[in-house]
Amino acid sequence: MRVSVIGGSRVDEATAERARAVGRLLAERGYVVVCGGLGGVMEAVCAGASEAGGETVGILPTADRRDANEYVDTAVATGLGHARNAMVVMNGDAVVAIDGGAGTLSELGFAGVFDRPVAGLGTHDVAGVEAVDTPEQAVDYVAAALEG
């Protein structure tokens, strides 16, 4: 199964550490991590998953696969800019949102459209997002939704 992780492209160290932990925990449970493939939360979650031996997919806004962060195993170039946000969410069976701005908010909207369960860790307070306090709670929530 795949879990999309969405969030800010520029984050502080504490947020990056939370994202790295989410990536590690997802990989330890055997989930493939899907993200937007660039920096911030995307890079941190891929780093955590990679360190735990997990698989990562980056769905890029650009037309060049080489733009992916160094921890992306499979880079998908789209050339779509922010329109690729729908693809990021669509390619996960569940979503973890960490931090984020307007781009993350659009992805949360697509999560609702595609009926994906969403755990929110320090992100937007919107309908359909289960607010959690820790990376462990985020991963437990999506695991229960997927396996329950």
Q: Which residues pair with 35 in a beta bridge?
A: 58
Q: Would you say 108 and 126 are in contact if contact means Cβ atoms under 8 Å apart?
A: yes
Q: What is the pLDDT of residue 22?
A: 99
pLDDT reading at 11 higher than 90: yes
The pLDDT tens digits of the residues spanning 103-146 come to 999 999 999 999 999 999 999 999 999 999 999 999 999 999 99
pTM of the model: 0.98
Q: What is the pLDDT of residue 114?
A: 98
Helix (H, G, I), strand (E, B) or coil at 69: coil
Q: Count CA within 13 A, CB hemisphere, residue 107.
A: 35
DSSP state at residue 100: -
Distance (Å, whole) CA 132 – CA 95 = 13
CATH class of 2-139: alpha beta
Q: Where are the domains of the chain?
A: 2-139
Nearest to 98 by CA among 30, 45, 31: 45
The pLDDT tens digits of the residues spanning 45-85 come to 999 999 999 999 999 999 999 999 999 999 999 999 999 99
Going 125 to 131 to 132 to 135, the CA torsion angle's sign is negative
